[in-house]
Amino acid sequence: MSALQPIPRISLLWLLVAQVLVIIPHLEHLPLWIIALWLVCAGWRVQIYRMRAQYPATWLKSGLTVGIVGGVFLSRGSLIGLDAGVVLLIAAFILKLVEMRSRRDALVLILLGFFAVVTLYLFDDRMTTVVFTLLPVMGLLAALIGLQQSPQQQSPWPPLRLAGGLLAQALPLMVLLFLFFPRFGPLWTLPMPNNQAITGLSDSMAPNDIAELSRSDALAFRASFDGPLPPRSQQYWRALTLDQFEGRRWSQSLEARFARAPQWTPQGEPLKYRIIMEATNKPWLFGLDLASTDLEDAQLMGDFRLERRLPVDQTLVYRVTSWPQALREPQASKPALRRATQLPKDGNPQSRAWAQQLQAQYPAPEKLVQALLQHFNREPFTYTLRPPAVGENSVDDFLFGTRAGFCEHYAGAMAFVLRAAGIPARVVAGYQGGELNPSGQYIQVRQFDAHAWVEYWREGVGWSTVDPTFQVAPDRIQRGLEEAMVGEQSFLENSPLSLLRYRHINWVNQLRLSWEELNYGWQRWVLDYQQGTQLEVLQKWFGRLDSRDLVLSLVGGGGAVLLLVGLWLFKPWRRERDVQQRVYQSFERVLARHGVRRQSGEGARAFAQRAELALPAQLGHIRAFADAFEAQRYGGTPASPKQLQQQVRALRRALPLRWLQRD
């Protein structure tokens, strides 16, 4: 193949299609001007092919490059990092379209396209994304195949069919490598994008915050247990602990963020489970109290939250062991207790006065807590996703005014009153409950399951969990938010297209659960197929394996698959019946007698072009045979060995008589 030979029409067509398919899944994290850039460059390329436009001059290419770099900097604020790097890569992928002049340039563009496809997995590793990327891969393969075909080929479908066949042939080897190739840790990492809009818990809580979050049906995490599932009423998934009250907002104090691991004693039977967590761009993890994890870069912090060193910026899979009955910090330090009783000097005077009355009436902390819970249960409090606004004295307005709120109102008010009564207390933010998928026996926890509850401390007993929301809306804890909001009709009211709103329609719900089960299997068996899972699976199949056995299995299995694929591709048992190949060998022998011998690995087109240079008088006969052979062999033209034989005979007759010999 000559590097200076023009790009065939079919290859250019599939290049344009492949570019569209490569760019589409990237649009979510690309600036909008990329679309305009592609439209301009694609139109320009078509006009160049139609000879109605010229290739860009050097000064114009330089100007475009500077403009693109400036656009990336203005849209991303930097030229360093994953976001900016991918935008630059896609922009280069587009600009190369108008700059390419030869097949070699087209080959560079195709390889650049494959690299652009791979970068998508840094942003999105969902099953649907991976399946979709097969389309641009097929388009790029079709463009690559089109580069090798005769310019006379007009139909775009043969290259696509061949590309699909190549992908199908690669699947067995791909599966084998996935199963057996040893998993290694990354040699280097990239800073992941941190400007993506992710729905989830914040690191602070004010009235209405969780109520707004509970309007989203986005997935937070999935949990699958090794044994029986705990009752729904015990499924309190801690994310973070809020120990600082600032008048309206609860947040995490600076001391708590770096507090040492607390003292605790495991009691009762532990729960073992696996969490598949969606990206949050926050460092905390989810787990039932009291949790420990197998992640090397995560630890239990002083307020019992699990936290990583780095934010969770992509799907994370980890195992957790929890002790629900653990004794949590029965002897706390004085600084920790001071933080747990801290209140602003002013504000909410009615709540403070009421707390003093309760303290005088119920000296024992557990009695006071029960009195508070009974107050929420007996008084006309309302649980609502549409809480009325509260003023500067938010706790007073809620307890003695509106008496209507969501979980953050009840948790925040109870923690405030306990602190005002001298009882160490804090708010815990996380999720409660979740939906059981009966097909896979795992729990799906969504953003509308976000919840807040209270912990209070007693000497010798440690931290105990109480949930005032249960006293007002027990359905919320026992059956979920949807059941609790039946009367109000506010469940996902801003998401009319959410399938979760139609769980009462059996076939719709079954379809949704089946799709979610498929995605769960993808995340568990593909994304989480790391070193530990790989050894576990292979040992289940083949017994105890060490690294040597694994390598031998990989080499042996890979060799067997390659042998089978090679036999299927080359079909040696049919070689003697390949008439086209026999005619081509006759063509080679005719030219060899005139000093033009085909080199090892030399393609049909390159061999013909070299023969044309060596025998210019026979250029027409040589080119006619080469075009016909390529069209029949690779271009989908119906086979006609008789036509090829006639062209070989015509070439033989046209050569000087002294060289003619009978084949």
Give 355's pLDDT tier (boundaries 50, 70, 90). very high
Q: How confident is the model at residue 504 (pLDDT cuts 50, 70, 90)?
A: confident
CA 599 to chain centre: 47
Residue 319 to residue 533: CA distance in whole angstroms: 12
Q: How confident is the model at residue 566 (pLDDT cuts 50, 70, 90)?
A: confident
Q: Which residues contact 214 (CB under 8 A, 6 or more apart)?
A: 385, 406, 447, 448, 449, 450, 481
With 50 as the cut, is the pLDDT of residue 2 above it? no
| Catalytic site includes residue 29 | no
The residue from 409, 467, 621, 627 that is catalytic is 467
Residue 215 CA to residue 544 CA, distance in Å, equals: 49
The answer to whether 299 and 203 are in contact (CB under 8 A) is no
Q: What percent of the chain has pLDDT over 70?
A: 89
What pLDDT is stored for residue 198 in this prediction? 59
Predicted confidence at residue 193, as pLDDT, reads: 55
Active site residue 467: yes
- 388-403 per-position pLDDT tens digit: 999 889 999 999 999 9
Average pLDDT, integer, range 329-352: 91
Q: What is the pLDDT of residues 4-45, one digit of tens each?
A: 567 888 889 999 999 999 999 998 889 999 999 999 999 999
Mean pLDDT for the chain overall: 86
Q: Is the pLDDT of residue 205 over 70?
A: yes
pLDDT at residue 190 is higher than 60: no
pLDDT tens digits, residue range 513-527?
Answer: 888 888 888 887 777
Of the listed 26, 29, 409, 451, which one is catalytic?
451
pLDDT, one tens digit per residue, over 459-503 is: 999 999 999 999 999 999 988 888 888 888 888 887 888 888 888
To the question of pTM greater than 0.75 for the whole model, the response is no
Residue 600 has pLDDT above 60, yes or no: yes
From the list 209, 243, 397, 407, the catalytic residue is 407
Buried b or exposed e, range 533-546, using 16+ CB within 10 angstroms: ebbeebeeeeeeee
Q: What is the mean pLDDT of residues 58-71?
A: 91
Q: Check residues 656 and 416 and name the one with the higher pLDDT.
A: 416
Q: Dump pLDDT digits (tens) for 208-235.
A: 888 888 888 999 999 999 989 999 999 9
pLDDT interval class at 663 (50, 70, 90): very low
Greater pLDDT, 198 or 660: 198
The pLDDT of residue 262: 81
Q: Return the closest-CA partner of residue 585 out of 604, 570, 568, 610.
A: 604
